[in-house]
Structure 1
């Protein structure tokens, strides 16, 4: 059976199907256990019945934050009288209920043990397989045990409280039971975590499966009920839509205790705030849950850089990339407090701010965030353009910084067609498109809301100049597509990649070249049959399972398809969205972060990428943006406009209750 995962807020618990975890190595790269705010608070959580794990009969989640496990005595034991049931809720802390039932007509004796332990591993260290340097200790006090980790001023604790008395030791609780005929024994266990001296307790009550007290603006039920209702005669698409909404709900957390909730980037490695991911996922979800955009904008504005900090790649006005709270960040080994190493988050912030106002009419938020927006614009016009040539170039200044600071942020993602990795500073094509779009959108806000016509006119002039310059400097005539980037010597990085598909979304392309771009993206070397690959099969860097150099990313495809619609290529846009939705069916309606770029004609089914996040925020958002694309939905001060182009293979589609500027609209 597959692993069982339950999550809520800043916590997630990954176990085997029986509900058990046993990380026997000091620092295994196995991402199992209870994690809270980037730290593993339980590395051992193992139930034994008469010294053996239970034999799993049924194990399944109830929803994203709770699960039930049913079992019997270990395999090879033929006594059917003993039944075991475990129920688990994750709600910041963990509440677990345990039942052992005697279904026979005679008394039975049974020894029940629960083994526990914590390595307090930083999630980033788990990913790298690194060891921790602090010391652990255990304190037993009545029915409660406290597991403690300390390294200099850094401290984390796990507290475990048992509801029924037994023999409590530093690493296990034992109950020696005699259960009467047709009776059951039950106990409950509460697990809490202590971060920065503050205990985070479980938000539920003993024995109350499903009675989690929500710490979000909306409970799961309200979240699902207030989203638009999809009507379709293609059942797999309905299930993919529902799963996308559920995934975004599951990933919600609060980066700040008093802040609003927004989606973490993805499970398991990226259960943290990522500026780029939050902004894109919020954009995708605007016609469905615009509250995500408001929370992302407010939170990221609060974290906007105000000064230079080389270690964190911070510059005034820059929107953060990543915020972590584990040991390496706390002790200053890693720069994630927050880290600012993404060159696209800042223009994406301005893009989302404008698009949010178009859909909601919330002028008050645009006024509230005016200074943050102007600061972001100042970064685009200042530090973001390192050499003053009008393009946004990145190069890390940090000893622990990212080499690549576009959305394809692996070290080798920006390469030439012959496989050479480009040298920084790097100006990737899509970031220039974002900067163009950000200028035009901010111009609208300046003119219509801030009453600043002179700034609006300047931004429009600058955008027009950028568009002309970009189409001259980035177009590769002999290859028939735009360059992936300009390198540090202003050479065109000539690999054929999906990056230039984002130029359709931003609107920076010359109209006469848009068709060439669309045709290039859908050529056999780029089109896998399930989506557009991140790199052409004809380029030397191509690998169908290389993270950014040949795989298919759902969010990437959703942005490209929306751009195709913008330039009038509706058939092509619908083709991309339909393929993504078909892929979702083969992934049990839960689109992963990324999947392999093998051709559909050879595999017949999309091939999993080995370490893809599931769920992942912008993958969950891809079907939502896809629905917007095929229904042709746009919003503005005149309300909602709809121009649908739904392919026959997708059947009939209707969305009821789309939120637009304080009203609800039905779309078909």
Structure 2
């Protein structure tokens, strides 16, 4: 039964994707069902009454963790005069529960046979994504006293789904049913609890102790209310901005993920549906975006990533001592090492970004204790940059996967296979050194020097780091500069040849500070020029490049997170009008997505489409897209921690009106920021 609407509800470690009737009928290649810990625990959940499917009148996604479906029997026609109303109210809070209500509107009594067909293929999310469902264990279904138990067993790897109804039901291996009698205007209801169980070695439920058991709706509501109450308040004449800000706060709450065995601490999961787990790069960049608004996420993210920092050489996982992880998975393929994500360390940028976040967090929070607590992990990260990341011996960070079967080819943020190219369209050999990562390394060493001097009591180390950063900046501006285009190359190949395409990566160089000031103006011109800027945002690859494609994943689409860091970098180098152009375009695009910016959207010229074109497989919500409006707010208001207080230097786009951000937390306590739009920015782009 195909549906034109897909309903998603989630709560950190658990999410449900269904049709607009609430039914679930998953195929091996679609991320539909009840998922937790990278496993699909329900692939079938279909409600019938007297053998008949139901038609959706409407649905409400009440909060990120709950939805309500209003249904009637039969298929849609031009005229519906149903004698029954059916309401399914669903919530996730670690597991899954559904309240089913049936109302009889007829003047005579009715006898109804109500059934829910239930089943699970226990697919690993990687298997769904790759469209390969190859189960090597045993799938079973057992009827117990007042319970249906679905399960999968492969050695010590056990996943189970337990289904219990509050009203008496008849259970069989394929679902459960009720026979009910309703008088006129009478209603019937039951609560169905679906518990997911992940059993590890020794028979212990891996989910115990991390808040993944059933959490009641009231507790979830209180948690969300507290989350929003703790964040700064935004008052704005620009109604769409206020709506987008509120949407971002709610989605950030939804994306909080609790890694197993780490005591319930949370960090941002990367995105729904494919990436509901921890990612080093994604979590760090999201924390950098949201630091002025949700600082607690940064502290837990730093601690979690530090606790899982690489300690050895492991070619299967691309692990080195000091390296920050890329991705952690909990499904079957990771458990049996059919893919390396347990955890996988194939990220070239997470390690310098870890150092950047630690320094930025201290600047905002004054949390010296955490800086001291993570000194050894920070020194190990710096050693990784110098000793293990320079694969060619030229002083740059390079990447090349050692796991050639399942490791990532491109280990930068543009991690699709064809994202790095020469201007003739050919792909360079490995190892590769992308430009933005060198900027991150420069920024990391500069910031770590401050930490060493002020908090680690090691001024000699601080001097060394500053000298290394200065040499890197000089070397970079020589080797990466494309003379005939007057921009920085996307990457270098192992022979030092430039991947000389014009890309959005040059904007990351601005927020890192590695660009020499005499070249910054030309970079700013490129970023808001017609080849890169579409009117909605900066494209990942410039129009006119051979591999340019407005709906190519990293070769011409617009990524909101990318644009937020570009705008931040433009402000850093003194280009507030250009930053406002980008902020205005992205925030305008957000209105077409109901305030929820997707992972990416099409790079088509704005006057061609009149609306942002959706990218078909984009994650939504996605953490660093959710963080984008918050970093744009920081950028437009010019919020920067400065010598123990908050500096405010607003530069707003035309039409933004008055903005008030109240109770911004930091080492200064809580302060307010005010701004009014006044810049003439519309004439910067043809």
**Could you state the TM-score of these two structures normalised by the residue count of structure 1?**
0.97
**Could you tell me which residue of structure 2 aligns to residue 229 of structure 1?**
233
Unaligned 5+ runs, structure 2: 675-686
Q: Distance in 2 between matches of 1:212 and 1:122?
A: 30
Q: Distance in 1 between matches of 2:12 and 2:529?
A: 42
Q: Could you tell me which of 127, 131, 145 is aligned with 1:129?
A: 131
The answer to whether the Cα contact below 8 Å between 2:490 and 2:499 also exists between their aligned partners in 1 is yes
* Residues 202, 49 of structure 1: alpha-carbon distance in 2 compared, 3 angstrom cutoff: farther
Does the residue aligned with 2:218 lie in a helix, a strand or coil?
Answer: coil
The answer to whether the Cα contact below 8 Å between 1:85 and 1:98 also exists between their aligned partners in 2 is yes
Unaligned 5+ runs, structure 1: none
Please state how far the C-alpha of 1:182 moved relative to its aligned partner.
1.6
Q: Deviations over 1:521-567 (max 9, x none)?
A: 22111111100000011110101111000000001000011000000
The answer to whether the Cα contact below 8 Å between 1:528 and 1:598 also exists between their aligned partners in 2 is yes
Q: Could you tell me which of 182, 185, 204 is aligned with 2:185?
A: 182
**Could you tell me which residue of structure 2 aligns to residue 294 of structure 1?**
299
Within a 5 Å distance, the mapping from 1:38-117 to structure 2 comes to: 38-75=38-75, 80-117=82-119
Q: Distance in 2 between matches of 1:544 and 1:135?
A: 45
Q: Distance in 2 between matches of 1:225 and 1:52?
A: 45
Please state how far the C-alpha of 1:52 moved relative to its aligned partner.
1.6
Please state how far the C-alpha of 1:104 moved relative to its aligned partner.
2.7
Within a 5 Å distance, the mapping from 1:364-383 to structure 2 comes to: 364-383=369-388
Q: Could you tell me which of 201, 205, 208 is aligned with 1:198?
A: 205
Does the residue aligned with 1:297 lie in a helix, a strand or coil?
Answer: helix
Q: Distance in 2 between matches of 1:647 and 1:46?
A: 49
Q: Distance in 1 between matches of 2:23 and 2:7?
A: 9
Q: Distance in 2 between matches of 1:153 and 1:261?
A: 27
Q: Distance in 2 between matches of 1:470 and 1:411?
A: 25
Aligned length: 658
Q: Deviations over 1:478-534 (max 9, x none)?
A: 121111111122111101101111100001011010001111122111111100000
Please state how far the C-alpha of 1:662 moved relative to its aligned partner.
5.1
**Could you tell me which residue of structure 2 aligns to residue 250 of structure 1?**
254
Q: Distance in 2 between matches of 1:648 and 1:483?
A: 33
Within a 5 Å distance, the mapping from 1:450-599 to structure 2 comes to: 450-599=456-605
Q: Deviations over 1:420-476 (max 9, x none)?
A: 111110000000000000000000000011111000000000000001010000101
1:266 aligns with 2:271: yes
Q: Distance in 1 between matches of 2:33 and 2:598?
A: 21
Q: Could you tell me which of 639, 664, 673 is aligned with 1:667?
A: 673
The answer to whether the Cα contact below 8 Å between 2:281 and 2:353 also exists between their aligned partners in 1 is yes
Q: Distance in 2 between matches of 1:185 and 1:195?
A: 33
Q: Could you tell me which of 163, 172, 188 is aligned with 1:160?
A: 163
Q: CA RMSD for the aligned pairs? A: 1.3
The answer to whether the Cα contact below 8 Å between 2:163 and 2:194 also exists between their aligned partners in 1 is yes
Q: Could you tell me which of 17, 21, 44 is aligned with 2:20?
A: 17
Q: Distance in 2 between matches of 1:597 and 1:204?
A: 41
Does the residue aligned with 1:236 lie in a helix, a strand or coil?
Answer: helix
Q: Distance in 2 between matches of 1:386 and 1:159?
A: 50
Q: Distance in 2 between matches of 1:435 and 1:308?
A: 21
1:355 aligns with 2:393: no
Q: Deviations over 1:379-406 (max 9, x none)?
A: 0111011132110000000131100011
Please state how far the C-alpha of 1:212 moved relative to its aligned partner.
3.7
Does the residue aligned with 1:530 lie in a helix, a strand or coil?
Answer: coil
Q: Distance in 1 between matches of 2:442 and 2:645?
A: 25
The answer to whether the Cα contact below 8 Å between 2:195 and 2:214 also exists between their aligned partners in 1 is no
Structure 1 runs, 4 residues or longer, greater than 6 Å off: none
The answer to whether the Cα contact below 8 Å between 1:70 and 1:86 also exists between their aligned partners in 2 is yes
1:29 aligns with 2:32: no
Q: Deviations over 1:160-212 (max 9, x none)?
A: 1121223211012111211122211111111011112417575245xxxx324
Q: Distance in 2 between matches of 1:81 and 1:259?
A: 47
Q: Could you tell me which of 309, 313, 319 is aligned with 1:308?
A: 313
Does the residue aligned with 2:457 lie in a helix, a strand or coil?
Answer: coil
Please state how far the C-alpha of 1:660 moved relative to its aligned partner.
1.6
* Residues 50, 202 of structure 1: alpha-carbon distance in 2 compared, 3 angstrom cutoff: farther
Does the residue aligned with 1:310 lie in a helix, a strand or coil?
Answer: coil
**Could you tell me which residue of structure 2 aligns to residue 447 of structure 1?**
453
Q: Distance in 2 between matches of 1:204 and 1:186?
A: 21
The answer to whether the Cα contact below 8 Å between 2:14 and 2:92 also exists between their aligned partners in 1 is yes
Does the residue aligned with 1:552 lie in a helix, a strand or coil?
Answer: coil
Q: Distance in 2 between matches of 1:662 and 1:527?
A: 37
Moved more, 159-168 or 418-427: 159-168
The answer to whether the Cα contact below 8 Å between 1:354 and 1:442 also exists between their aligned partners in 2 is yes
Does the residue aligned with 1:544 lie in a helix, a strand or coil?
Answer: coil
**Could you tell me which residue of structure 1 aligns to residue 218 of structure 2?**
211
Q: Distance in 2 between matches of 1:166 and 1:272?
A: 36
The answer to whether the Cα contact below 8 Å between 2:644 and 2:668 also exists between their aligned partners in 1 is no
1:145 aligns with 2:152: no
Q: Distance in 2 between matches of 1:422 and 1:223?
A: 46
Q: Could you tell me which of 415, 432, 438 is aligned with 2:421?
A: 415
Please state how far the C-alpha of 1:30 moved relative to its aligned partner.
1.1
The answer to whether the Cα contact below 8 Å between 2:12 and 2:276 also exists between their aligned partners in 1 is no
Q: Distance in 2 between matches of 1:3 and 1:604?
A: 25
1:338 aligns with 2:343: yes
**Could you state the TM-score of these two structures normalised by the residue count of structure 2?**
0.94
Does the residue aligned with 1:48 lie in a helix, a strand or coil?
Answer: strand
Q: Deviations over 1:28-76 (max 9, x none)?
A: 2111100001000000001001112212112111100011111112136
Please state how far the C-alpha of 1:213 moved relative to its aligned partner.
5.3
Q: Deviations over 1:280-322 (max 9, x none)?
A: 0000001001011111100000000000000000000000000
Q: Distance in 2 between matches of 1:353 and 1:280?
A: 12
Does the residue aligned with 1:126 lie in a helix, a strand or coil?
Answer: helix
1:220 aligns with 2:227: no
Please state how far the C-alpha of 1:9 moved relative to its aligned partner.
2.2
The answer to whether the Cα contact below 8 Å between 2:646 and 2:668 also exists between their aligned partners in 1 is no
Please state how far the C-alpha of 1:629 moved relative to its aligned partner.
0.4
Q: Distance in 2 between matches of 1:476 and 1:662?
A: 44
